[in-house]
Amino acid sequence: MATIPLTVRGAELLRSELQRLKHVERPQVITAIAEARAQGDLSENADYDAAKERQGFIEGRILELESKLSNAQVIDPKTVNADGRVVFGSTVDLEELEAGKAVTYQIVGEDEANISQGLISVSSPIARALIGKSPGDVVTVQAPAGKREYEILDVRYV
């Protein structure tokens, strides 16, 4: 399996979710299954079926998180020396040229992406267009609404 790039914050979020699943949700679902079993006939027990389904989801997510963390390449943007170029983990200030609107994005791993928080996936079209560019460069991004042009105003490693 290929390495999965994560920021330090992203790796910590995955670790905390893994801990919550293992130490809070897994014991809760085990208790729920035991309580449903105590009710008797399992063939018509909706509580039992729901608890078993939840257990399957939790166990699957635990395996997924453990796999991602074992294959993670954790990158601290503060230690990156990219000579002002846009790289994974960098925070980029942009101006959409047509609208004159300023936006700021940080390029993060797929599991960390949240556009409403300004976190874009490294595999997104805009991130792919930005990687390797420097302040002053203009990039064209093919978005669902059509082509958009952005000027890179600043690149930070925070």
Range in 50-54, 141-145, 151-155 the model is least confident about: 141-145
CATH topology of domain 77-156: Chitinase A; domain 3 (3.10.50)
Q: How many Cα atoms within 13 Å fall on the side-chain side of residue 104?
A: 9
- pLDDT at residue 1 above 80? no
How big is the CA angle at 123 (ends 119 and 126), to the nearest 5 degrees? Answer: 65
- Residue 90 to residue 111: CA distance in whole angstroms: 16
Q: What is the mean pLDDT of residues 138-152?
A: 90
Same fold, 4-75 and 77-156: no
Q: What is the mean pLDDT of residues 15-19?
A: 97
- pLDDT at residue 84 above 70? yes
Predicted confidence at residue 47, as pLDDT, reads 86
The class of domain 4-75 in CATH terms is mainly alpha
Query: Which single residue is written with the structure tokens 């599991």?
Result: 111
User: For the chain, which residues make up each domain, given as ranges?
Assistant: 4-75, 77-156
